[in-house]
Each structure stands twice: as C-alpha cells, then as structure tokens.
Structure 1
Amino acid sequence: MIPETHQAALDELLRSAGLPAAAGNTVDLLAESTNTVYVVQTGETDFILRVYGDSGWPEIYDRARLAKVIHLHEVLAAKGVSVPRILGHVDHPDLQAVLMEHLPGQPLAEALDQVPLPERDDLWRAVGTSLQSVHEISLADIAGEIRGDQVVPFGDGEGPARGWGTFATGDFLDDTDRLSRHLPSLKVDGDWLAEVMSRAREHLDESPVRLLHNDPTVDNIFVERSEDGWRCSGWIDYLRGTIRGWVEVLGVDRL
C-alpha cells in the first residue's frame, strides 16, 4: 500500500505531466533504501516514481539532491548516455520526488540469472561500453561531491579544499597507528608506510577526475536484447554520483 504522502506526490506529478491521475493505476514497490521507488502502471504506459527519504548525508546535500539528479540526467542525456527522462518533480519542505519514464528492458540482475553463461560476456561488454561513456565525462577540474549543479571540492566547509589523493588517504596513517597500538604483532614500519602513502597521494591528485556513478549495482543497470545482441538500455539512481580520480574507477564502480 503506497503511503498517502507518496500517492499525493504521484497525483501531483501525473497532473503536471499532463497525465490522468486515475484511480485505476497500479503502483508496485520496486525498491526501498535512501529513496523509495515504485513502478506506476497506467494501462498504457509505465512510469517510475522515486520518492527521496533521509540519505544519512548532511541536510545541505539532501536539500540539493533533487537539483543534482535533474542536472546529472541532463548532462548524461546530452552526452548520449541512456538515462530515463524526468517528466516532472515535486520539491516540498517535507518531500521530494521525481516521475521518470520507464526504461526498456530489464535490470541486469534479472538478465544475468536468465541467460546462459557464454551469453553473459555480451551482457558485460554492453554494460562496459556504456560505463566507459560515463567515465569520459568531466564536470570539473577538481574532485569533489556534486551538490545541485555544482562540484564542491572535498574538504569544503571543513578546512581547506583537498585534492582526491589527500581526501582518500588522509586518515590512513592515523587509522593504521591506532590499529598497530591494539595489535602490536602487526609491526608496522611507520616511516616506510608514510613514504608509500605520500607517493599514492601524489599519484591520486595528479590523476584526471571523472564522473562516477558510485552505486552501479546490477539493479541500477537496465539491459535489453536487440537485433545486434545485448545493449545497455539505461542507468538509474545517480543520487550518489561523484567526481573522483580516474584510477578510482574500478574501486568505486562496484560491478
């Protein structure tokens, strides 16, 4: 049963998109985490309703996430990346939501369960080709979190802005020191480790920064079979998209 507040948001979104808010619409829960996702079946066309909840991030990011999602969808679509078209949005003090077109195909998770093992190579190639097009997008010259349509450098608001290398390695030495005090058997060579981390920091800071999805699970990728084989029909949920060093692509994009 869809909560009344979510139903009210859906009705408002359907009206704003020029679609009937019919009582006969079917609304099924698709996923629920930091946002709640529904499939809306109107009898003719399916839509996706995404209602945003508490993300666990600072409120300033929560308030800007709707603008962020809209901005990233526009950027990705302009670059030829398949993302669902946003048909409308509501931005109330106590609720944010978007209505999107339903992507063709099926989640990658379902396809992987259904196709024989040799055919999975084609699936992964299709996804990899699409993912590469995402990673070719550069929105800024410095790594940072995306707030609305702006890139906020790491460390902003908490002292001087830091590069990706400093941000990624900043706590490593302190954490290792605390761990070694609890586990003396580790016998950590502090000087050697500091030198290694210094080189790693320089390497990370010098690496090109790119747009990362940051949550590319098999449920957030849609694929469909075409005459030429499998193709990636779209990506969803860019809420945690970020700008980080290119060398972090394999570590952050958790395929």
Structure 2
Amino acid sequence: MTLSIIILAKVIQFFSNHPALRGFALAAALRAGNNHRMEIAIRPQLNRADVEAIARERLGDIDVVGHEEFTDGFFNAAHALALADGRHLVVKVAPDPGLKLLRYEVDLMAAEIEFFERAAAAGVPMPKVWHTDAEAGLMIMDRLTGVSLAQTAEGIDEAEKLVLRREIGELSARIVTVSGERFGYPRKDGRTRSGSWAESFTAIVDDILADIADREAPLPRSADEIRRLVTGDRALLDEVDRPALVHFDLWDGNIFVQRGENGWHVDGFIDGERALYGDPLAELVSLITFIPPAEAAAVVDGFLGRALTDAEERRLCLYRIYLWLILIVECDVRGYEPERTAGQVKWATEGLVKDLGALEA
C-alpha cells in the first residue's frame, strides 16, 4: 500500500495546516478509502477466478474457500485467499511492465522479493512467502493476522503508542543492517547504481525531476533550482559509506500491528517494492514525517538509541524532498481523479516548499 492514500482531498486539506496531526489524516484517509473502491489506471484488474487460477498454477491443487480483494492500493493488485487447509494467503500481481511508469518504478517486484528475503533473514517480521516470480510480477505470501497501524492508531492509548513506536524503530533498524554491493535501486539495468551515495542519490533525484518534466507536473521552484539545492550537500551525502537496505515506504499503512497480552506489538511489515540501497537514515522518512512529534521521537529513539544530529536532520530533509517530488508527479501515472490529484499535489507542494526553505536557511 503506497503512501498515496493521503490524496483523499478533504482530509488532506484539513490537516495540511497541522503537521503534528498528519498521522491522523492518513488514518482517516485510509478508513475513508476502505469504503470506496479506488479505480487506479495501472492496477491489474483481476476477478476471483483469475486469482484462484494463478494460485493453483503456482501452488498446486488447493481448495479455496474464501476471497477478498484489497481495493485501497495504488499500484499492485492484491487479493486474499482463504484455503481449506487453514492458510490465509495474499496473491500480489504487479502492473503490466509495458505501462509507462515513473523512472524508478522498474523491476519493483524483483526488488520486493529481494527485500522480503533479506529483511526476514535479518530478523525483521515479514509475511511468510510461498511463491515468487519476479519475471511474471507475482508474489504469494501469508496474510498477516494483524491490522494496519493506519487503521487502528487512533484507538491505541498514547502511552502504549509510544512503546509501539519505539518497537517499530527497533525493528526497522534491523532492515538497515543489511548491506548491498552498490548504492541505488536494485534494478537489472543498473540505473542509479554506483559506489557513491552522493552520485546515486543525485541520479535518483534527476530521474524524478525528468518524470516531472515529462508529465508537466507543477513545481513551486524550477527543477534546476531544486537540483542545485539538493546537490549542494554532496559532502554531507558522501559521509554515507555503506549501501544499507532501505524500505523507504514504511508509513503506518505498511506496518501491521496486533494487540496481545502485553499490549500492542508489530505483526509485520509489508510492501517492500520501493526498496533501495542507500543511507540508513532514509528509512526514517516515511516512518516519522507523518506522525506527531512525540511519536516520531520514540521511533528515532528505537532506531538510533539517541536523537538526530543537525547533520542527520539535514540529510533527512534531502530525502523528504525526494518523497515530495514523487508524491507530486505520481498522480498522473496512477490516473487519480482530479480532486484527489489536486489535494495530493497541494499537500506535497507545501511540504516541498518548507523543506527547500530549510535547506536555504
């Protein structure tokens, strides 16, 4: 489930002036979205028979006793199947590779498969995987028994929530202990990959700015100005000397939680297709940008065991700028309704303006 759920315009417009409450905006948007089927142009359209056929082809002679389509995603098709043997599975199918997507949206299923394997090996709670086929754009995995934090956050006691946020920080810190051979997105053609984080991040930003130019998405400053500000901190980026595995999309919709005898705990993380190898701190972007400050501090404490330094705050600012640029341009690719597009572009542009100003301060 991508961060794009924020585009439900009325929720966004109300909360955009209250940064500390943005997490609540996301949760409210998710609940609202669950009541309406979101027609997304690039998401594969599959019915129950299609999904059952895929599962039987890959898993053998299974007896399906239940089916549910998840309609709140903005990229892949995802369907749940209940089996007579007691298993509850999710069948995930990527968009047609022939579609014109964003430049970084290449080999995403392969990236997700790699993320699942490497994160699970590092002790990160992930759904069990039953079948993968990167070339076919297919994954079949266990359905988590918990619920997304975006759906349940408002019902969790504040003290319990801080404990949960700290656990989220600790578990996400395990992800970034995994190292890659080179920086950049793990795509087959090697685009954005290099031995330097500064070089790879510059290439990543150049790609998203090119996407924006191609689709004539609105920007508050020229692309040249934005690139100049981002690349002006090359020395800071050069301090990153290890390509760490980064999920980069760990907002509350991709974090599943459960309530147990000892309170709330993390059930698992999902949707690793946006993964890349880069600065470990980049993992904090989606984790803390959209939640209240006290909760963000708890995540950082779990992740680092201390507060962020000024230099780290500045690096995070760079990575937030990249996220805002994605949110601005992806609307056209997804084929959102005009009202949703306007809401998301407005909200992301406000974040972009704020962070560009912070770089110049």
TM-score (norm 1): 0.72
Structure 1 counterpart of 2:74: 33
1:46 to 85, 88, 91: 88
Work out the CA distance in 2 between the residues paired with 1:219 and 1:247: 20
Structure 2 counterpart of 1:218: 252
1:237 to 267, 271, 278: 271
2:115 to 72, 80, 99: 72
Work out the CA distance in 1 between the residues paired with 2:118 and 2:280: 19
Work out the CA distance in 2 between the residues paired with 1:30 and 1:19: 27
Work out the CA distance in 1 between the residues paired with 2:108 and 2:48: 18
Contact persistence 1:9–1:97 (CA under 8 A): no
Structure 1 counterpart of 2:21: none
What is the root-mean-square deviation in Å for CA atoms of aligned residues? 3.6
Q: Which has the larger radius of gyration?
A: 1
Work out the CA distance in 1 between the residues paired with 2:138 and 2:79: 11
User: 1:244: how far off?
Assistant: 1.2
Structure 2 counterpart of 1:111: 152
Pairing 1:144–2:184 present: yes
* Higher helix proportion: 2
Q: Which runs of 5+ in 2 are unaligned?
A: 1-36, 38-43, 210-219, 291-361
Work out the CA distance in 2 between the residues paired with 1:252 and 1:153: 23
Tell me which of the two structures has the higher relative contact order, counting C-alpha pairs closer than 8 angstroms and 6 or more residues apart.
Answer: 2
Structure 2 counterpart of 1:163: 196
SS of aligned partner of 1:138: coil
SS of aligned partner of 1:223: strand
User: 1:34: how far off?
Assistant: 1.4
* Higher strand proportion: 1
Pair 249,26 (structure 1): closer, same or farther in 2 beyond 3 Å: closer
CA deviations over 1:86-141 (Å, ceiling 9, x no partner): 2124567xx6322110113211112312212222112211211111111222122x
Work out the CA distance in 1 between the residues paired with 2:140 and 2:74: 17
User: 1:52: how far off?
Assistant: 0.9
SS of aligned partner of 2:89: strand
Pair 226,144 (structure 1): closer, same or farther in 2 beyond 3 Å: same
**Letter paired with 2:90:** I
Work out the CA distance in 1 between the residues paired with 2:245 and 2:150: 23
SS of aligned partner of 1:31: coil
CA deviations over 1:36-57 (Å, ceiling 9, x no partner): 2222233633211211115814
Q: Which runs of 5+ in 1 are unaligned?
A: 184-192
CA deviations over 1:158-188 (Å, ceiling 9, x no partner): xxx473224445779xx9xx958xx9xxxxx
- State the aligned residue count: 225
Work out the CA distance in 2 between the residues paired with 1:166 and 1:252: 22
Contact persistence 2:131–2:141 (CA under 8 A): yes
Pair 103,49 (structure 1): closer, same or farther in 2 beyond 3 Å: same
SS of aligned partner of 1:145: coil
Work out the CA distance in 2 between the residues paired with 1:224 and 1:250: 22
Q: Percent identity between the aligned chains?
A: 21
Moved more, 200-209 or 78-87: 200-209
Moved over 4 A (4+): 1-6, 169-172, 252-255
Structure 1 counterpart of 2:130: 87
